[in-house]
């Protein structure tokens, strides 16, 4: 069974040529992210991902996290790996230096995060949730909460969680009923139950800091009445040492399709008198603060689609090179060949490769824009980049994860019948990535956010600006001779036209008929993702051709052009059909009465 190899070459290319690492390193606060330092970080991260996390992936999946007497025991090797993770400083990579972080840009952290997720998806979820909790406390926590919790969380000695949903509530956070009763001394007692809490209980860290949504007695109904509270597993003494056990317990963990080594907890608060909690920010603004965590998590979950797709692709390529079956098509009497020689297998592998590269490129470009939105000295530039990030987060999360599922499914197909057998490892990637389209808001929720909050609310201003940037590339593509660039340009131009047409239709019709436009939300997200991915692949092809024209003989560059050509022919060609579905799909979807189903 093959082990994970970090795709450092493609990561470096995307970082430097598409995401603009040089420009990112010139932002205030990002000066240390020089190319040499970033290369060193990627190389060390690759060693940890390949040598420590990847070997634990399959055994961890087979053993799984185990619950007993309100405690969770992680699979063999996970606790030791996490301690090494903390000691090496990986938890602090992109965190604020004020709290012990290294302050590296988000786009650099995205590369490292992708490695963790490819090597061991289940393990990677623990630092993902901790990072989100850190961001929420940095932006909304009191000085006292920051001084008590952030240094330990940034170092990774303590981990964090996000407690949103409850039994029967699902994604409807207005239905949250967990109670927070003020005690008159600045603390609250928390009573209620939360479900689907990733790493809500485990044995890898000394303390777990839960961020919990709850309602105070005077809170209004609905989402406007939700507050956010810090509820630690262990109370923290004035000197920073751990005190008494808080009344916050894991009463069970879920038995899941995949990510078996990641404990998904049912958390009970207040069964023994009340869990002590501390208000984050102001009462009734909890959902606002929680969305800080959710946006960080949504980007991270989008990287899961990239990462699981990459791992599924690597496994499929290894198998296709090793598996001897059939003669080469069109050759009579020839010997048996590896299945990578068969045209349909080539098509599947190129589909996997091209989609992974496109999602990676888009995710890193959005990560770099986030760095500019946070660090740039010009307020107008910050504003423009933030608008771009806000628009693209649902696409990175929704499209990348859907692609990850598609790529992992194709990986099983490349293996044929053996792909359905657990021993090959192909099935695990599909089982693991399947949750990513559901985590932190399903694809439908991402798509509704995209067409509603991010497009219709502002009259499509930001997506029009993005489409204008896409069209600027057309003139550059037109200068390139050769069949590959002719094909790339033809598909890309047509894709932009279809995207613009569908986006205009949504903006014009959203207020008139929100149900009809919502039917097309997910197809539109797919359309936007494909065209945005094609945009980055076309940019990559132009950079690659410039390198070739400059005399660089690295085979990476012609491979990049061919991969971009494949994406244009096999993915961008879907744009017209998706646009048609966006604009015409409502009638058939909404016509049947409920009783007819």
Report pLDDT for 173.
Answer: 67
Q: Please, are residues 265 and 191 in contact by the beta-carbon 8 Å criterion?
A: no
Comparing 326 with 170, the larger pLDDT belongs to 326
Report pLDDT for 351.
Answer: 98
Number of residues that this document lists for the chain? 597
- Whether 579 maps to a domain, the answer reads yes
Q: Please, are residues 205 and 192 in contact by the beta-carbon 8 Å criterion?
A: no
List the single range of 331-335, 378-382, 420-424, 569-573 with lowest mean pLDDT. Answer: 331-335
> For 422-478, what is each residue's pLDDT tens digit?
999 999 999 999 999 999 899 999 999 999 999 999 999 999 999 999 999 988 999
> For 483-525, what is each residue's pLDDT tens digit?
999 999 999 999 999 999 999 999 999 999 999 999 999 999 9
Q: Please, are residues 165 and 171 in contact by the beta-carbon 8 Å criterion?
A: yes
As a whole number of angstroms, the distance between CA 26 and CA 484 comes to 35
> For 25-41, what is each residue's pLDDT tens digit?
999 999 999 999 999 99
pLDDT bracket for residue 169 (50, 70, 90): low
- Whether 527 maps to a domain, the answer reads yes
Is the dihedral angle over the CA atoms 30, 35, 41, 45 positive or is it negative? Answer: positive
Domain count within the chain: 1
Q: What percent of the chain has pLDDT over 90?
A: 92
What would the two tokens of residue 207 be? 């303390």
Q: In whole numbers, what is the pLDDT of the chain averaged over residues? A: 96
Phi, psi of 371 (to 5 degrees): -60, -40
Domain span at residue 511 reads 452-590
Q: What percent of the chain has pLDDT over 70?
A: 99
> For 269-285, what is each residue's pLDDT tens digit?
999 999 999 999 999 99
Q: Please, are residues 257 and 431 in contact by the beta-carbon 8 Å criterion?
A: yes
pLDDT bracket for residue 170 (50, 70, 90): low
Read off the pTM: 0.96
- Whether 41 maps to a domain, the answer reads no
As a whole number of angstroms, the distance between CA 547 and CA 242 comes to 57
pLDDT bracket for residue 213 (50, 70, 90): very high
Does the pLDDT value for residue 564 go beyond 80?
yes
- Whether 286 maps to a domain, the answer reads no
- Whether 542 maps to a domain, the answer reads yes
Catalytically annotated residue among 151, 440, 498, 500: 440
H helices of 323-378, in order, are 343-375
- Whether 7 maps to a domain, the answer reads no
pLDDT bracket for residue 526 (50, 70, 90): very high
Residue whose C-alpha is closest to residue 56's, from 72, 75, 83: 75
Helix pair 343-375, 556-570: axis angle to 10 deg: 100
As a whole number of angstroms, the distance between CA 279 and CA 438 comes to 29
> For 283-327, what is each residue's pLDDT tens digit?
999 988 888 778 778 999 999 999 999 999 999 999 999 999 999
- Whether 522 maps to a domain, the answer reads yes
pLDDT bracket for residue 171 (50, 70, 90): low
- Whether 487 maps to a domain, the answer reads yes
What would the two tokens of residue 379 be? 């307020």
Active-site annotation holds for 310: no
pLDDT bracket for residue 73 (50, 70, 90): very high
């Amino acid at each position: 069974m093959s082990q994970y190899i970090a795709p450092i070459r493609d990561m470096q290319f995307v970082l430097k040529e598409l995401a603009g690492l040089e420009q990112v390193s010139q932002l205030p606060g990002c000066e240390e992210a020089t190319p040499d330092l970033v290369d060193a970080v990627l190389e060390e991260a690759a060693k940890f991902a390949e040598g420590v996390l990847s070997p634990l992936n399959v055994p961890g999946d087979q053993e799984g996290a185990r619950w007993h007497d309100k405690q969770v025991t992680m699979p063999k090797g996970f606790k030791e790996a996490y301690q090494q993770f903390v000691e090496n400083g990986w938890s602090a990579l992109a965190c604020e230096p004020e709290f012990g972080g290294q302050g590296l840009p988000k786009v650099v952290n995205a590369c490292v995060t992708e490695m963790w997720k490819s090597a061991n998806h289940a393990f990677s979820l623990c630092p993902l949730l901790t990072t989100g909790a850190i961001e929420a406390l940095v932006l909304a926590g009191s000085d006292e909460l920051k001084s008590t919790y952030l240094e330990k969380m940034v170092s990774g000695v303590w981990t964090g969680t996000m407690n949103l949903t409850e039994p029967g509530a699902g994604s409807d956070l207005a239905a949250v009923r967990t109670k927070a009763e003020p005690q008159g001394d600045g603390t609250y007692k928390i009573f209620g139950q939360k479900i689907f809490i990733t790493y809500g209980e485990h044995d890898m860290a000394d303390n777990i800091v839960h961020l919990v949504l709850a309602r105070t007695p005077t809170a209004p109904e609905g989402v406007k009445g939700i507050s956010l509270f810090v509820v630690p597993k262990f109370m923290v003494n004035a000197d920073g040492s751990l005190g008494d056990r808080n009344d916050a317990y894991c009463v069970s963990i879920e038995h899941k399709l995949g990510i078996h080594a990641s404990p998904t907890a049912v958390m009970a608060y207040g069964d023994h008198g009340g869990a002590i909690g501390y208000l984050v920010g102001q009462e009734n603004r909890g959902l606002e603060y929680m969305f800080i965590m959710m946006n960080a998590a949504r980007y991270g979950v989008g990287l899961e689609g990239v990462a699981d797709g990459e791992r599924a692709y690597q496994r499929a390529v290894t198998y296709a090179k090793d598996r001897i079956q059939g003669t080469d098509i069109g050759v009579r009497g020839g010997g048996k060949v590896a299945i990578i020689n068969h045209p349909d297998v080539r098509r599947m592998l190129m589909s996997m490769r091209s989609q992974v590269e496109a999602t990676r490129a888009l995710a890193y470009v959005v990560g770099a824009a986030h760095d500019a939105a946070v660090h740039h000295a010009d307020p107008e530039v910050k504003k423009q980049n933030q608008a771009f990030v806000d628009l693209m987060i649902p696409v990175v999360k929704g499209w990348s994860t859907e692609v990850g599922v598609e790529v992992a499914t194709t990986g099983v197909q490349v293996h044929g019948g053996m792909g359905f057998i657990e021993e090959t490892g192909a099935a695990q990637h599909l089982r693991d990535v399947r949750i990513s389209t559901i985590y932190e808001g399903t694809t439908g929720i991402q798509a509704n956010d995209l067409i509603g909050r991010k497009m219709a609310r502002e009259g499509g201003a930001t997506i029009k600006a993005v489409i204008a940037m896409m069209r600027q590339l057309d003139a550059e593509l037109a200068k390139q001779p050769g069949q590959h660039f002719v094909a790339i340009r033809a598909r890309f131009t047509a894709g932009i036209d279809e995207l613009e047409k569908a986006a205009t239709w949504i903006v014009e019709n959203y207020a008139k008929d929100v149900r009809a436009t919502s039917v097309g939300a997910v197809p539109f997200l797919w359309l936007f993702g494909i065209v945005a991915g094609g945009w980055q692949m076309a940019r990559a092809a132009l950079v690659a051709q410039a390198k070739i024209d400059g005399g660089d003989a690295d085979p990476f560059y012609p491979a990049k052009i061919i991969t971009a050509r494949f994406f244009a022919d096999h993915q961008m060609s879907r744009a017209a059909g998706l646009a048609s579905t966006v604009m015409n799909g409502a009638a058939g979807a909404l016509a049947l009465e409920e009783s007819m189903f």
